[in-house]
Amino acid sequence: MSLRAGRRAAGSMAEWVRGHNETDLPPVRQTPQAAWKWLFDEWSIQLELATARMRVPDGSFRQRLRSELADARGLYAERGWLADPASYHRTPPPLDDGVTIRAASAGDADFWHVRFPSEFEPWPDEPGRERWMDYRPVRTAHAWMLQHADQPRPWVVAVNGYRTGEPEMDMWMLYAQRLHRRWGLNVIAVVLPLHGPRAIGVSGSRVIHAGAMNTVFTVAQGAWDIRRVLNWVRNQHEAPAVAVSGISLGGYMAAMIAALDDDLAAVIAGVPESDLARGTRRQVAPLLPPYYEQWGLSWEPYEQVLSVVSPLSLPCLVPADRRYIFAGLLDRWVRPGNVKTLWEHWDRPDMLWYQGSHLSYPFEREVARYVDRAAVETFGSQPPVPRH
């Protein structure tokens, strides 16, 4: 190996370890703790991809991917959705009837389990529509609600991350109890389609690896459900102000809602993916056989179709000083470069780069302090929370 080739190989290895080739991010502090965080993230992502490595898409699956992508790209171009992605998203009806609320508990949290019919349907001619409508669990929306009964208070609408969606995890990972107890806010955590009680099999299955249209419908229906909840807390619960937050895939959704709702007090995107096509390609492409393109499974239509549900395709409507992002410099699930892309798209707002990974953020004190600061800057000091 020549010296030049050796340097190129060393550079590629260093980029792989960093997870990005950005030159203007804060440096990583090389400590034993950092190594463990990196390794745990890497182990978890490799576990996620283990099945994909051993599975070659069969003929019928490849045919479905090809036909759905081709049909969707043609339909989206014809309807003008590629040129104007906002027009793809319909305004959902108010959430007035059909809501059921029951008391529930998980761990040390008592909360209200909210259910309502989603009423979302893909557009009539969209490929994959019939398959999606056969997913019965996604028809009912679920949310975990923490509400103070003494008077109207500001609300945070939170969104779960990929593979989560159960109250035991969401109360902790979304800082729901912290925002509710410490800062006196009402919080409602909306469960994304194909997650938690809305899953088919394991939570998060069929979102990414079942074809582009499943990804599109997950985001489109998730945005629909969240917007209905926003309308509900404003109209039925007299919310004086509402912010949206989310982590991981939920951070992506928070960014989407920030582009579809023009009356949000703030948006907090935690360890957020910003480009599902780019993120999926980075993780999946190395696993695919070299004849992938020969099967007609090109990334170009995939990227075009997903653009209608991308926060990078739409301007953020939240005031610039109320946009918050936090991300880990050691993140192996959502690479720092993708987060930086969202930060730049949002005109470089307030941003926390912490010395940790995707899965370490709930244990990072500086992240908790950052979320606290965002809550106080957005809503100010709330009345004391009644103690029982």
Chain segment 314-368, per-residue pLDDT in tens: 999 999 999 999 999 999 999 999 999 999 999 999 999 999 999 999 999 999 9
Q: Mean pLDDT across the stretch 85-112?
A: 94
Q: 270 pairs with which residues across the strands?
A: 247, 326
Rounded Cα distance between 274 and 340, Å, is 9
Residue 26, both tokens: 């804060």
User: Quick one: which of 146, 172, 178, 109 has its CA closest to 369?
Assistant: 178
Question: Residue 10's pLDDT band (boundaries 50, 70, 90)?
Answer: very low
**Six-digit token pair at 197?**
């009680």
Q: What is the mean pLDDT of the chain?
A: 89
- State the Cα–Cα distance between residues 28 and 26, nearest whole angstrom: 7
pLDDT higher at 18 or 29: 29
Instruction: Pick 223 or 287 by higher pLDDT.
Output: 223
Tokens (6 digits) for 373:
């600061």
Element containing residue 159 per DSSP (H, E): strand 155-159
Q: What is the pLDDT of residue 258?
A: 98
pLDDT at 16 over 70: no
Given the candidates 3.40.50.1820, 3.20.20.70, 3.30.420.40, 3.40.50.300, the CATH classification of the domain at 24-379 is: 3.40.50.1820
Of 106-115, 202-211, 255-264, 324-333, give the lowest mean pLDDT range: 202-211
Helix (H, G, I), strand (E, B) or coil at 269: strand
Q: Which sequence spans correspond to the domains of the chain?
A: 24-379
Q: Which residue has the higher pLDDT, 51 or 317?
A: 317
Do 350 and 323 touch, CB atoms closer than 8 A? yes
Tokens 């419908």 correspond to 217
* SS3 (DSSP) at 158: strand
